[in-house]
Amino acid sequence: MATVVRRVAGAALSWGAVRWGTPLVARAAKEIGLVRASRRGTRVPTAAGAATTAASVAGALVSGAGQGLPPAYGPVVVATLAGLLDDVSAGQGPRGWRAHWRAWKEGRPRTGILKAAGIVLAAGAAGMAVARQAGIARAGLSAASAVLGANLLNQLDTAPGRSAGAYLAGMGLLALAAEPGRRGAWWDVLPVSAAVAAYLPYDRRGEAMLGDAGANALGSALGWTAGQCLPLPALIAWVAALAGLNVGLDRWSLSSFLEGHPKRPFRWAVLQEGPLARLRANARG
């Protein structure tokens, strides 16, 4: 019972901090010039994901009752810090590892290289931390899933609500697909999920952006959780699918595909431009 109370308290703290803190963070970001042009042509405060991570860490500390942070938070925090460096320094630089690698080979290194290296090292360290308990195979796949997930959600973060919505959808699926006895990792990142749920309306309204600091962190959290929760055969298929999506998104634009296929299920469900939009409109009416 005490564990449940701590988890609820941690999630509530994370949700509340983001719900009422995001407008303050957005205002501060505007004042220091940390803004980015949106698809609508407006200037939107970015790097709100850094505040989301901070709230998540606070919630996780409350949930853990002084026992420290779960391994998932290592890659999450490093992805946030590295992504924030990218937000501050790189602006609208190249997206995707192939683009960063190409820029580096051409003598135009960007902070994305440091970001990628940091996420890989942090995920590897987290994998080593759980290797004895979880096994080498699961630890390695979890690390790979965290790295691939970070890049994937960063690639998705090109329209309001897309990365945050994909994260919440993914966590919902993991809640259903998690192997019995391995749901602890899902509960470990409940503060992250609560923070994202509180943040999503601001993102959808174009009042704030996750930035690389947030998108990479959410992808890392989702990927790591999948690595720790899914049955091993499903995890292998998951990592293979993530790898394929990463390769595809490095070559082709998801935004162009979605805008050219407005009736696709992904656009309907995640971007809320189909049945969900109609239900929401009916509820308002």
User: What predicted TM-score, i.e. pTM, was given to this entire model?
Assistant: 0.84
pLDDT band (50, 70, 90) for residue 272: very low
- Specify burial of residue 192 (Cβ count, 10 A radius: 0-12, 13-18, 19+): buried
| pLDDT, average across residues 8-20 | 96
pLDDT value of residue 64:
84
pLDDT band (50, 70, 90) for residue 105: low
More confident residue, 1 or 271: 1
Query: Taking all residues of the chain, what is their mean pLDDT, rounded to a whole number?
Result: 84
Q: Give the span between the Cα atoms of 7 and 20, in whole angstroms.
A: 20
Listed residue (95, 118, 98) closest to 106, CA to CA: 98
pLDDT value of residue 274:
43
* 159-163, 204-208, 259-263: range with lowest mean pLDDT: 259-263
Q: Tell me the per-residue pLDDT of 175-200, one tens digit each, with 9 for 90 and over.
A: 999 999 999 999 999 999 999 999 99
Which amino acid makes up residue 109?
A: P
Q: Give the span between the Cα atoms of 115 and 95, in whole angstroms.
A: 12
Provide Rg for the chain, Cα atoms: 18
Three-class SS state of 117: helix
Alpha carbons within 13 A on the beta-carbon side of 280: 9
Does position 167 have pLDDT exceeding 70, yes or no? yes
Which amino acid makes up residue 265?
A: P
| pLDDT, average across residues 78-101 | 72
Element counts in the chain: helices (H) and strands (E): 14, 2
Q: Tell me the per-residue pLDDT of 26-60, one tens digit each, with 9 for 90 and over.
A: 999 999 888 887 777 788 998 899 999 999 999 99
More confident residue, 210 or 257: 210
Question: Tokens at residue 52, please?
Answer: 């989301």
Does position 147 have pLDDT exceeding 80, yes or no? yes
